[in-house]
Amino acid sequence: MKKLMVIKIGGNIIDDETKLSLFLHDFSSINEKKILVHGGGKLATRIAVQLGIEQQMIDGRRITDGETLKIVTMVYAGYINKNIVAALQKNGCNAIGITGADGDAITAHKRIKGDTDYGFAGDIDAVNTKFIDHLLSENNDIVVAPITHNKKGQLLNTNADTIAQEIATAMSAVYEVTLVYGFEKAGVLMDADKDDTVIPVIDPALYMKLKAENVIFAGMIPKLDNAFSAINKGVNKVIIGKAENIAELIEGKKGTTIRK
Amino acid sequence: MKKLMVIKIGGNIIDDETKLSLFLHDFSSINEKKILVHGGGKLATRIAVQLGIEQQMIDGRRITDGETLKIVTMVYAGYINKNIVAALQKNGCNAIGITGADGDAITAHKRIKGDTDYGFAGDIDAVNTKFIDHLLSENNDIVVAPITHNKKGQLLNTNADTIAQEIATAMSAVYEVTLVYGFEKAGVLMDADKDDTVIPVIDPALYMKLKAENVIFAGMIPKLDNAFSAINKGVNKVIIGKAENIAELIEGKKGTTIRK
């Protein structure tokens, strides 16, 4: 089976010019076909403040009103996405940047949960594997901004972690997929304060044990639940660690590998 | 030979939500393969003003300093491009939005002219016909934002008229190309103040005559020179008129057709 890497990076890389540049250099050196999903970073918030648009957060999610959607579309799909693509092109990586609207890549619907109005936030319905496979087959690597659409003309702000997971899961039908979550720590840690206590491999049995022993708790639980969910839906393995170490993460020399 | 429409729209359509929506509906109804090149509009200027960034113009061209490049990348490649793509998807047109950096579609270099520093403004070097043909062959219509790159990691602000012309010319190698310039008048006019004096067809002989008689003058001369230049380089015909009338322009019922 053909191999595919789906790699997600967040604000800790996007907001740091030097780290981002080094990461994109290393990303370009990966031989397999690859998809980079990027989050937002602080620029959207900074521009919203400069334009006098108030930002509302509920449970760590930005409430996307019309003006906020405009800003995230500009910053994520415009500034961040195109600068990443240009940097990859410089490194000889023939990238193409997309949102979920482009080629109808990712359809979503407006999030509705009880009484909370999340505004123009999208929950994913479908990933267009044919379109994505088609770009990959033409040797284009893909850079995905966290914006989707509802096929009725509405763009929707969508969580980048979820986009990475949904793409990885959907593409598992035709590829052997490795999903890499870049985050601020070196991996899943035995001691949350010590970056040198990375647990190299976690399978379901170990996960149960670590949860029972309270080694894994709080914010790591949904992250790992998502990782196992991706694996149960066909993703070959999930790697969690610092995107700065992307080469070592893929080789299994750093970070935590989640597998069946 | 396969047919291709390259259609350029400017600020007079982009800045008018109703006109843009109607235009995109009509654009979606065109049966041929098609590429839409859009300019910028007033939003970039408005946001620059709100963010306190001064805009400098020389000979009608925006001087693109670093901060201005950031804004046009956000507004053109992000906000305008993605909203157009989402609207086309709604109309059943499977559009994909790109800049010149995506898929290395359009390479350019920083404009240098005498002592004037235009900043990050790009003059086009090459159009990647293989990449564009490839998207078209997969039944994707293409929406191009007026941003290119230099393959060294630098995005460049690039005139949308020129992008449309260069794409049309380059694609003439594999397609029978019609290039449509949407602008604020109904076509080339016998009397510049009367929209009902459109000259339906101009060939080189008539162009010489109209210039000699001073019917065509000032700003229309470079526009028509560019049109004839495109035709001399292989474009089948160039149509000038109101983008609102796109269906009639293509049928030759409205606007001015420039041909050999």
Out of B94, B98, B101, the one facing A86 most closely (by C-beta) is B101
| pLDDT of amino acid B61 | 67
pLDDT(A204) > 80: yes
Whole-angstrom Cα distance, residue B240 to residue B224? Answer: 9
Please name the residues in contact with B193: beta carbons below 8 A apart, sequence gap of 6 or more. Answer: none
pLDDT(A114) > 90: no
Contact B50 A51 (CB under 8 A): yes
B143: amino acid identity, one letter: V
Encode pLDDT of B87-135 as tens digits: 999 999 999 999 999 999 999 999 888 877 889 999 999 999 999 999 9
| pLDDT of amino acid A103 | 98
Encode pLDDT of B209-221 as tens digits: 999 999 988 888 9
SS3 of residue B63 by DSSP? strand
Which of A38-52, A148-162, B191-205, B229-243 has the weakest average pLDDT?
A38-52
Residue of B nearest to A139 (CA): B103
Out of B83, B103, B155, the one facing A140 most closely (by C-beta) is B103
Residue of B nearest to A151 (CA): B90
Encode pLDDT of A250-260 as tens digits: 999 999 999 98
According to DSSP, the residues that pair with B107 across neighbouring strands are B126, B149
Mean pLDDT to the nearest integer, B162-187: 96
pTM of the model: 0.96
Closest CA to A143 of A188, A206, A68, A87: A87
Total Cβ atoms within 10 A of residue B152: 12
| pLDDT of amino acid A118 | 84
How far away is chain B from the Cα of A183, in angstroms, using its nearest Cα? 25
Whole-angstrom Cα distance, residue A12 to residue A20? Answer: 9
